[in-house]
Structures are given as structure tokens and as C-alpha cells.
Amino acid sequence: MGIANAMQTGVSGLRANATAVGRISENIANANTDGYRRSFVQMVTSSTLSSAAAPAPAGVRAMQSQDVSLEGALRATERPTDLAIGGNGFFVVTKQPNDPVEANYMLTRAGSFLPDENGNLRNAAGYYLAGFPYDQTASLGVIDRNSFDAMKTVNLASFSQTGSPSNRVELAGNLPSQQTGLAEPGEPFLSSAEFYTPLGEAERLQFSWQPTDQESTWVLSVSHEDGTQYGDVRVKFHNSGPLTGAPEVYSDINSTAIAPAGFAFDPATGTATLTIESGDTPQTVTVALGAPDEHSGMTQFAGDYSPLKITADGAESGVLVRTEIDERGDVYGVFSNGSRKPLYNIPLAEVANPDGLLATDGNAYLVSRASGNFRLSQAGAGSAGTLKSGALESSNVEVAQELTDLIQTQRAYSSNAKTVTTVDEMLDETTRLKR
């Protein structure tokens, strides 16, 4: 190796170690960056081809890599939209909401998401979280999990729940048999059931169970909370035999409703049909008390009065008041009417070689040939990690290790600098030979 080649080798060492210092400084600067992945340099011998008689000068070059697959520690926060991944996978993000270009989709572990002015979830780097939207039937439908095409930006501002009218109300409960057959029956037992109008407004029907002086016999009166009377019916219960406690017969059906309100009763099924004034077209609601000879609805046994168990279809209109995110990545909306429905599913993108991803701005990565193809897995399924709401993943940088590497790299840089200065002195001495 000639003197000039020796200097070039020293220069390659200076260049490589300078690159290493740059990576170390980057790691230290991002030690507190959520989801950051440590970058590092590996030194690789660099030489040109030559014959065995004339060995080539061996320099060094820096190969830059990242510890993308090494997880950082999780820490709890107070924000429900802060998300951390426990295990494999990445969030899918875009620079613009609902970006139609698949090449613009990126992966990240930085989950500090907050709604922007339009309700779109965006992290501290300005990237928007993407997920699969649920439809009105709470279904995701058929999803191609090897494509970003079906993904939408997770938005928490555009949801409201329209009301749907009630068509059927079912009652179940127990009436105390000892209250009947008395010479002077006591006060009626009162209860109410909520139902929903076509406009999604919650209203209540009221039921008055009046014991009579006849054993196991009651008179049920139905009314509206606003005082509107619908009608009444006499109910006799079995008091012996295998059907004890079940309705025996419905009789003395009496409608007290004034049009457009209406009241009808089917004694064969134990079902009342109410016509309720509601807008231009009256609303029809059936109220099931329980068929004769069956214990499926109202019963009568000795003991205490059992408050009615009421089942009603329909729903009240409501607006989104908060969201919840579970470990499987489902984003649930909790509405002002008390209902809870799934809005989005946040998948986790998995690749065969996470360390082969290409780093880009904002602590994000692009899929590359070295990383392999991606798959959008459901959190908690297969090899995919789980989502943790109200938590963030810290950087995987260990500052003590970085400072140790910095000392070693500084020493290596100084040694290479010494090689260059030594070769310079040798060249200077060579030029003196002519004098």
C-alpha cells in the first residue's frame, strides 16, 4: 500500500465515523420522541479488486440501519385517543385526510392522535390515522387486507344517531297474589315503559295494575305520560295446577281512547295495540303482556311486586359524546341516548422485515422491497400486537448506550485523524529528499 493510499484509508475512516456520530446525535436528540426507532451505523470494509501480488487498500464505509423491530417502553397518558401498540404492527397514516393515492400511505408507531378542527385524528407529526369504517349494520363488509384502498381517515366529529320508532314493547314481571281477593283492595301498582316516537324522542307509557276483590284478578289500565287514557282490561291468573301464576284469561276489554288515539286488545295472545298521536300519521305500538297459559310475560305469585322488565325496540336520536377504543382496534362511539356502536376498526400493518422499512419525515416509514409486502391485520389476531388506549410508546433509545458509543466513535475518529496527519508528515519528509 502506498502512502497516498494510506491517507485515503484514513479519510474513509474519518468519513465513516463522522456518519456514525451523526446517527448517535440523532438518537440522543430523539430520546424523548414517541415511537422513535434508534438508528445506527455498521462499519464495513471497503476495498477495490486487485491481484494477490498487489493487495488493494482496505478502507471503511458506514452502513446505516435502524432498530425498527425493537419496541420502546409504554407509558400511560390521560387521553383516550393516545394509542400504543403492544407487539408487532404499525399504524397506517397519511399526510392528507382520505388520501386516494396508495403510494402516499405510511406506517408509524407514533400514536399521539388528537382530533383536528374537522374531527380527524392526527398525530404530533401531522399525519392522519387511517382505519376501516363500519357501516350502519355494524359490519366491515369484505376487506382486502393487502391494500390501502378501503381505508378512511378516522373522524370523530361527523357522527350522530337518528332515531327509529318503537313498534313493540314486551312486559315481564310478577304481581303479588296476596293483594287480590280482599274486601277492600289496596292501591294500584304503577310502572312505566319508555318507547320512541318517529322523530326519535323518548316518551313513556304508564301501566296501573289494580288488584280486585276477586282472587287472582287484576285490572290493567294503560295511559300516556301526558295523561292520555287508552283503555283497560281485566286479567285473571291461574292459581292452581301446573299453570299456576300464568295468565288464564283476558276479559272486559274497554277502550277509553279518544281519536286519533286508539286501544285494542287480543285476548288470544295477550297483546294490546295502541294508536298514539304522533305527527300527521299516528304511531302504532303493540304491548305484549304474555299469552294465556304461558309464563313468558306477566305472572302472579305470592311475594313482593317485581318491577317490570321492559323490552322495547326503536332508538332515541343522539349525538356522539365520547369514544372508546379497545384492544382489537375497534373505535366505539357512545351517544347521548346511551347507545354504543362501532365506528371504525384500526388495523395494524405488518411486514416481514420491519428493519427493512424506509424512514421518512415525521417518524414514519415507507414499505420497501427489503421490508416485504404489508398486511393489514386486526389487532390482537395472529402475530399482530394489541392496541392500548390512553398510552404512548416511548423511544427505544438507551441514552447511556448512545453516550458510550459516542466516546468510542470519537476515539476512532481521532485515531483516523492521526493517521492522516502522520501520512502528511511522511509525504512532507519524502519531498525533502530532493533537497
pLDDT band per the 50, 70, 90 thresholds, residue 304 = confident
Asked whether the predicted pLDDT for residue 48 surpasses 60, the reply is no
Res 52: pLDDT: 54
Confidence class for position 212, pLDDT limits 50, 70, 90: very high
- Give all domains of the chain, ordered by start, each with its CATH number: 3-70+396-432 (no CATH), 74-158+321-393 (no CATH), 168-312 (2.60.98.20)
DSSP letters along 302-328, please? SSPPPPPEEEE--B--EEEEEEEE-TT
- Give residue 19's pLDDT: 85
Q: Where is average pLDDT lowest: 115-124, 132-141, 241-250?
A: 132-141
**Amino acid identity of 257?**
A
SS3 per-residue string spanning 100-156:
CCHHHCEEECCCECEECCCCEEECCCCCEEEEEECCCCCCCCCCCCCCCCCCEECEC
Higher pLDDT, 187 or 159: 187
According to the model, what pLDDT value does residue 69 have?
82
Mean pLDDT of the chain: 89
50: pLDDT strictly greater than 60: no
**Residue 274: which of 193, 163, 174 has the closest Cα?**
193
pLDDT at 306: 78
pLDDT, residue 307, reads 77
**Of the segments 10-14, 149-153, 308-312, which one has the largest average pLDDT value?**
149-153
The band of 57, judged by pLDDT with boundaries at 50, 70 and 90, is low
* Cell 304508564, located at residue: 206
Instruction: Give residue 49's pLDDT.
Output: 52
Buried b / exposed e along 399-435 (16+ C-beta atoms within 10 A): eeebeebbeebeebbeebeebbeebeeeeeeeeeeee
Question: How much is the average pLDDT of 85-114?
Answer: 94
**pLDDT in the model for residue 54:** 55
pLDDT band at 327 (very low <50, low <70, confident <90, very high): very high
Q: Is residue 13 scored above 90 in pLDDT?
A: no
pLDDT at 159 > cutoff 70: yes
In the structure, what pLDDT confidence band is assigned to residue 314 with cuts at 50, 70 and 90?
A: confident
Mean pLDDT (whole number) for 377-402:
91
Residue 410: is its pLDDT beyond 60?
Answer: yes
pLDDT tens for each residue of 333-382: 988 877 788 999 999 999 999 999 999 998 999 999 999 999 999 999 99
Identify the pLDDT of residue 283: 94
Predicted confidence band of residue 81 (pLDDT cuts 50, 70, 90):
very high
pLDDT band at 419 (very low <50, low <70, confident <90, very high): confident
